[in-house]
Structure 1
Amino acid sequence: MAYDLEEQEQLATLKAWWAKYGNVATWVVIAGLAAYSGWTYWNYHQRTQSTQASALYDELRNAAEKDNAKVQRAAADLESRFGSTVYAQMGALTAAKSAFEAKDNKTAKAQLQWVIDHGTDEYKAMAKVRLAGVLLDEKAYDAALKALDGDVPAAFAASVNDRKGDILAAQQKLAEARTAYQAALDKTDKKSPARQLIELKFEAVGGVVPEEKPAA
């Protein structure tokens, strides 16, 4: 006999189980394979996107000091094809700087706004500070202050308050400027190279920087 009695009983049990649950089990296996296949494809897609975005960003950086038009084309390509990657955010910031240096404030503001609308919290904060700077140069003071609205990561609190101080000082709102610069100083490490510049601006609007006490 091909099977002894015990094996036949086991086979009968297996057939009964399969008759009852086999269809469900098949779909579970198919779903599992589909999920694994989807996960594998997603990882491959992410790696491919990152590689392609990185190459395009390198092209943008190489053009940054020579060809603003090429920078803007590369940035637009990054934003449309790889908008979910960090390279698109970095590309938009680089394109904004290139446009600003080319005296094309309209494009600079558009690139910075793109980062604010699509970027991660850190890049959004960076773009807000830079956009406020462009608006400050244009003497659009209210718009510049509005650009700084909203929460930012703690690491950018000093930069935001410093920029607020610049805008308020330009408006001759010296008391408010002092408050902003003081907030910037409170958030700036005493060893930071940026601190000295903030102190100079703070003193220029009538602030008094406490003297450092000598170490005991």
Structure 2
Amino acid sequence: MSVHLTEEEQLEVLKRWWKDYGKTVITGIVAAVVVYFAWTTWQEKQHSKAESASVQYDELIKILNVEQGKTLTDADKANAEHIANELKEKNGKSLYAQGAAFYLAKAAVDAGNLDKAVTELRWILAGKPDLATAQLAHARLARVYVAKGSYPEALAQLSEEPSKAFASEYSEVRGDILKAQGDKAAAATAYKKALETTDPQHQERAMVLQMKIDELKTAEAAPAAAPATQEKAQ
């Protein structure tokens, strides 16, 4: 007997196989096609969403990029706030949305609305951003808390060891907090550390830190000079 199947036998085997497994194969193929097109559609939507966010963010930057010596008009501020809020609403925790939230926090500080600034910065941190974004948000949030007079909350934002890029700013903010609390010696130490870790290319920042250090030295020297002046007057 031949070990090879005849054409009729092969056809019969195929029919039986199709009867047993045909529907399963079709279902699998259809599912694969659906998944493929769903994935492709999702990718296209994400790409389109990212492009739209990029365009909006560029528009926001253009509005904020005013000439030196000029300020934003009320209309520009309203437009910028509208775009920033849209970026947050439509782009979740993306970098564009985080950038928009940073702007809204700054605008709130400029308007004296410190509570709103806290809300915006906490929104950024709630999204578990990358390390650099998180440390920037903590530093700015600490400054807002200093402005509110909430010194323990401000110090809490600086509890983690910063990366090299933020070491100077963290030390400066810590100095601001200690100075506001009346601990001038500790504040001076923090400012000196900030100065030591400042990028040499940032000369303006170094000058500001040196001024803060000199201001504390002057304040410490003033009480010592007062008794000598009183004795001379007597």
The reply to whether TM is greater than 0.5 is yes
Compared CA separation, residues 21 and 128, structure 1 to 2 (3 A): same
| Equivalent residue number for residue 170 of structure 1 | 180
Distance of 1:108 and 1:178 partners within structure 2? 28
TM value normalised by structure 1: 0.73
Summarize the alignment of residues 1-216 of structure 1 with structure 2, pairs less than 5 Å apart. Answer: 6-64=6-64, 65-67=72-74, 68-118=77-127, 120-121=129-130, 122-150=132-160, 155-174=165-184, 176-177=186-187, 180=190, 184=194, 193=203, 196=206, 200=210, 204=214
Contact 2:178 2:187 in 1 (8 A): yes
For residues 14-44 of structure 1, what are the alpha-carbon distances to aligned partners after superposition, in whole Å with 9 as ceiling and x for unaligned? 3232223222222221221122112111111
Contact 2:194 2:209 in 1 (8 A): no
Compared CA separation, residues 198 and 31, structure 1 to 2 (3 A): farther
Contact 2:198 2:206 in 1 (8 A): no
Shift of 1:197: 5.1
Structure 2: gaps (5+ residues): 65-71, 218-234
Shift of 1:185: 6.3
Compared CA separation, residues 31 and 161, structure 1 to 2 (3 A): farther
% same residue: 34
Distance of 1:178 and 1:6 partners within structure 2? 97
Contact 1:165 1:177 in 2 (8 A): yes
Shift of 1:96: 1.8
Contact 1:63 1:71 in 2 (8 A): yes
Structure number with greater Rg is 2
Distance of 1:179 and 1:88 partners within structure 2? 37
For residues 78-135 of structure 1, what are the alpha-carbon distances to aligned partners after superposition, in whole Å with 9 as ceiling and x for unaligned? 2122223221111111222223233333333322222122251232221111121122
Amino acid paired to 1:148: L
Give secondary structure in 2 for the equivalent of 1:144.
helix
Compared CA separation, residues 95 and 197, structure 1 to 2 (3 A): same
| Equivalent residue number for residue 210 of structure 1 | none
* CA RMSD, 1 decimal: 3.2
Aligned length: 202
Distance of 2:28 and 2:193 partners within structure 1? 58
Compared CA separation, residues 11 and 180, structure 1 to 2 (3 A): farther
Structure 1: gaps (5+ residues): 207-216
